[in-house]
């Protein structure tokens, strides 16, 4: 596997990392037998970066990854905005993964400099915990160009986890070129770059080679995360990243038709619409409608559904 330094953090990460959202409780909710096969494949091919978040319900997967191979790099995220919430979030993370530190801890889904300021109490707490050795690097994730640009004003930010792909799909406030320029400037400032949604939540999988080549050709991207729920997916992606002739064929590639499924017991409370970061949900004629030209299949809407009526397949 290819390894890069994550900005100036001193953390060395595999170019390809495993996003655990796909296997977590919001999506496939893989059995232990299923996810252990995926972890085993990751270790076999040298993947050391495992991304999770408080919202993903996948800490148990990361915990088992640590048990199997203790020198893994763990990245997590929380929506906490003040010290009280940040304390609870970090304590829950560490307890859940079974370790006394987390490598990378991010403010989840920041939108702008104003949002960062609104979460600054949490950020300040994480910086204090970094000094205590409980966090190795602090940063944020974002789907917005404005936020990526604003990070340059906050010297505390060491890692940025931006949405970036060849089509610009899912970027909420600008073009692909806008995000590219913002990320380039972050990299010049020594900030580590962890790319997400390189396949646009599955929408761009039909153009797999184009999407992957786009990311691999960007020297300012230290690493990228892909959600993989089967060991065959790990093997296939690694073979493509490393240009290996492993004679592996992923039969479902290009045929993936993942979607948001709303069960009949949905009460149309509107929480999913209110909390959809992409603005992809509407309630029309008392029915939930998903705009797939906007939806990146992040499944965050499901976490706000009190009726457990939303699922991803």
pLDDT for res 202:
80
Q: Do residues 128 and 2 touch, judged by C-beta distance below 8 A?
A: no
Whether residues 10 and 142 share a domain: the answer is yes
pLDDT for res 254:
46
Judge whether 247 lies within some domain.
no
β-pairing, 223-227 with 287-290?
unpaired
pLDDT for res 250:
58
pLDDT for res 12:
98
Q: Do residues 167 and 173 touch, judged by C-beta distance below 8 A?
A: no
Whether residues 60 and 183 share a domain: the answer is yes
Q: What angle do CA 173, 178, 180 make, to 5 degrees?
A: 125
By the 10 Å C-beta count (0-12 exposed, 13-18 middle, 19+ buried), 274 is classed as exposed
3-state secondary structure of 43: helix
CATH number at residue 191: 3.20.20.100
pLDDT for res 255:
47
d(CA 61, CA 97): 8
Whether residues 42 and 96 share a domain: the answer is yes
d(CA 42, CA 17): 9
Whether residues 302 and 266 share a domain: the answer is yes
Judge whether 254 lies within some domain.
no
Domain count, the chain: 2
pLDDT for res 305:
79
Whether residues 152 and 278 share a domain: the answer is no
d(CA 196, CA 178): 16
Judge whether 42 lies within some domain.
yes
Closest CA to 17 of 215, 204, 152, 158: 215
Domain that holds residue 271: 260-312
Judge whether 123 lies within some domain.
yes
Whether residues 307 and 197 share a domain: the answer is no
Judge whether 174 lies within some domain.
yes
Tokens 């939108």 correspond to 111
Tens of pLDDT along the chain (313 residues) come to: 999 999 999 999 999 999 999 999 888 889 999 999 999 999 999 999 999 999 999 999 999 999 998 899 999 999 999 999 999 999 999 999 999 999 999 999 999 999 999 999 999 999 999 999 999 999 999 999 999 999 999 999 999 999 999 999 989 899 999 999 999 999 999 999 999 999 988 888 888 999 999 999 999 999 999 999 999 899 989 999 998 766 656 555 544 456 777 877 888 898 888 888 888 888 888 888 888 888 887 777 877 877 777 766 6
pLDDT for res 248:
57
């Amino acid at each position: 596997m290819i390894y890069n330094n994550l900005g100036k953090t001193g953390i060395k990460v595999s170019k390809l990392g495993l996003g655990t959202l796909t296997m977590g409780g919001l999506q496939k909710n893989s059995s232990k037998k299923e996810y252990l096969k995926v972890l085993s494949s990751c270790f076999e091919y040298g993947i050391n970066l495992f991304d999770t978040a408080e919202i993903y319900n996948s800490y148990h997967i990361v915990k088992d990854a640590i048990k199997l191979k203790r020198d893994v790099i763990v990245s997590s995220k929380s929506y906490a905005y003040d010290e009280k919430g940040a304390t609870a979030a970090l304590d829950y993370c560490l307890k859940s993964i079974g370790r006394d530190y987390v490598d990378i801890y991010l403010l989840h889904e920041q939108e702008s400099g104003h949002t960062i300021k609104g979460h600054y109490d949490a950020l300040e707490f994480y910086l204090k915990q970094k000094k205590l050795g409980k966090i190795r690097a602090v940063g944020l994730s974002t789907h917005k160009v404005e936020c990526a640009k604003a990070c340059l004003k906050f010297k505390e930010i060491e890692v940025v986890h931006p949405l970036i792909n060849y089509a610009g799909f899912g970027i909420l406030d600008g073009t692909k070129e806008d995000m590219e320029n913002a990320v380039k400037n972050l990299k010049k400032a020594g900030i580590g770059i962890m790319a997400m949604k390189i396949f646009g939540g599955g929408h761009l999988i039909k153009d797999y080679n184009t999407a992957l080549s786009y990311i691999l050709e960007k020297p300012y991207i230290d690493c990228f995360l892909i959600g993989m729920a089967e060991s065959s997916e790990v093997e296939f992606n690694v073979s493509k990243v490393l240009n290996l002739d492993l004679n592996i064929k992923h039969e479902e590639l290009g045929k993936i038709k993942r979607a948001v499924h709303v069960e009949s017991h949905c009460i149309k409370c509107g929480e999913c619409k209110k909390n959809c970061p992409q603005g992809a949900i509407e309630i029309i004629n008392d029915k939930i409608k998903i705009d797939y030209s906007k939806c990146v299949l992040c499944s965050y809407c499901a976490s706000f559904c009190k009726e457990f009526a939303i699922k991803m397949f």
